[in-house]
Amino acid sequence: MTDVKKVVLAYSGGLDTSVILKWLQDEYHCEVVTFTADLGQGEEVEPARAKAKAMGVKEIYIDDLREEFVRDFVYPMFRANTVYEGEYLLGTSIARPLIAKRLIEIANQTGADAISHGATGKGNDQVRFELGAYALKPGVKVIAPWREWDLLSREKLMDYAETHGIPIERHGKKKSPYSMDANLLHISYEGGPLEDTWTEHEEDMWKWTVCPQKAPDAPTWIELTYRKGDIVAIDGVEMSPATVLTELNRIGGLNGIGRLDIVENRYVGMKSRGCYETPGGSIMLKAHRAIESITLDREVAHLKDELMPKYASLIYNGFWWSPERAMLQQMIDASQANVNGVVRLKLYRGNVIVTGRKSDDSLFDSNIATFEEDGGSYNQADAGGFIKLNALRLRIAAIKGRKLF
């Protein structure tokens, strides 16, 4: 393990990555560069600097990536109305390509020949981090401690930390039973009681959202302004991408919006139960489909819907930096040229209800769609020929004796 001279570690300052930092120093006898990202997880990141310094780290990177995260990753994903397996809004998945990108950038800046992360050998994150790293720097060495060491339980990690003088923050005798991940798009919860698929999640697990039954018994109305498929203003006030998502998280959380409890199919082959809070993302998904409903051509909208599951699986499985994802993104972005306008929403006890949509680029024509006299805008008799042409193949099959039942 002496071929590595310098490694960039994705470092949170918590137990796992602090143990990894010390383990890299001891096992690889290499210099460690730490990288801590502020992705809007709601925790202070500066304490990681002091912890890294105390462990002898000389090069420490702490980056506020919130705007880049939402602008370059969350927004492009939501232009596609992306949902994995019908429900999951990919809050963890979409953060990983940005972390991989920044790890490689720092490796290039510091002359490091390796990167390291704290993802376990059972999860998807190891795949996402490493696929991204190899795509951006083919010759980089990746060190995945969970695939090398024998510290395969929290108790062993705690023992290692105590033996090697790594400070451990204890919060009484009770520890959180969940493995959690957070960024500006979501919080995820796994493990502990959730490993029994029949056990109901505990109410005090949720951090961002109030219980829908306890949410205000009065709706909240908001208006979202779209420009080329992205939200640029809330209630007429222009905001940056990260500010938009922060505010939607706040409003959605107050109204009990965005909770999810699912069993998903991991790329590594197993099923896993997870609970997710995505209040802002849940609002964004509903609103974006609403503005597209009046601004997109029918076949463009349907083609997007057909391709979305493939796009979602590429992100979930870690292929953000793949040519096929980039190809799909170009098509998705091109479809958004006229996705401009305003959507009005009513938020009430866990529900996101569309109550209005308007756009200068709307394809909705009330003169044609009306049930009243249309002044000759549409000749209803034309529908007869349209129906007969589409029925022709069915009529031929029936004439030839084809039986349907």
- Examine the residue annotation and report whether 93 is marked as an active-site residue of this protein: no
- Examine the residue annotation and report whether 18 is marked as an active-site residue of this protein: no
Contact 253, 245 (CB under 8 A): no
Q: Which domains does the chain have, with CATH numbers?
A: 6-163 (3.40.50.620), 179-296+338-358 (3.90.1260.10)
Sign of CA dihedral 271, 133, 71, 211: positive
- Examine the residue annotation and report whether 125 is marked as an active-site residue of this protein: yes
> What pLDDT, on a 0 to 100 scale, did the predictor assign at position 176?
63
How far is Cα 292 from Cα 346, in angstroms, rounded to an integer?
18
> What pLDDT, on a 0 to 100 scale, did the predictor assign at position 174?
54
What is the side-by-side strand order in the sheet with 271-277? Answer: 179-182, 187-190, 271-277, 259-265
Q: What is the DSSP letter of 203?
A: G
- Examine the residue annotation and report whether 272 is marked as an active-site residue of this protein: no
> What pLDDT, on a 0 to 100 scale, did the predictor assign at position 169?
61
Q: Which of 79, 96, 102, 357 is catalytic?
A: 96
> What pLDDT, on a 0 to 100 scale, did the predictor assign at position 256?
98
Instruction: Give the three-class secondary structure for 392.
Output: helix
> What pLDDT, on a 0 to 100 scale, did the predictor assign at position 119?
93
- What's the pTM value of the predicted model, to 2 decimals? 0.94
The per-residue pLDDT for range 262-276, each reduced to its tens digit, is 999 999 999 999 999
Q: Which of 125, 188, 259, 357 is catalytic?
A: 125
Q: Which of 179, 272, 313, 362 is catalytic?
A: 179
The per-residue pLDDT for range 235-288, each reduced to its tens digit, is 999 999 999 999 999 999 999 999 999 999 999 999 999 999 999 999 999 999
Q: Which of 12, 16, 357, 359 is catalytic?
A: 16
How far is Cα 391 from Cα 389, in angstroms, rounded to an integer?
5
The parts of the chain modelled with pLDDT lower than 50 are: 171-173
CA distances from 354 to 141, 293, 399 (A): 49, 11, 47
